[in-house]
Amino acid sequence: MLTRLLHRLAQALIVFGVSTGLASAWPMPKGEGLKTLRKECTRCHALRNIVNADGRARAEWEKHVVDMTDIERRPEAMKAVVDYLTEHFPPGY
């Protein structure tokens, strides 16, 4: 009985999240590179990981992005993501 209730509750929360956009949306500053960042970074984690992360200097963002992705093979995408992160999530933001 409890398992069935929990299953229904989980279904309701999923439907609510999807219908309200909470499942995929996360408040991110608008800016050049956001679309590329969403495409590259959400393959493995939610955008909240970026929002909740400590800010970094450009060189640190470059290293972090290279460590987490294969984006360095696409220089334009790499530049767009690192530019965005550096502008919107600098040290101490």
Chain mean pLDDT for the chain? 83
Residues 28 and 4: their CA atoms lie apart, in Å, by: 36
Domains, in order of start, for the chain: 28-88 (1.10.760.10)
Q: How far apart are CA 69 and CA 63, in angstroms?
A: 10
CA distances from 80 to 5, 49, 70 (A): 46, 18, 14
pTM value? 0.71
| 3-state secondary structure (DSSP) of residue 71 | helix
pLDDT digits (tens, 9 = 90+) for 33-62: 999 999 999 999 999 999 888 899 999 999
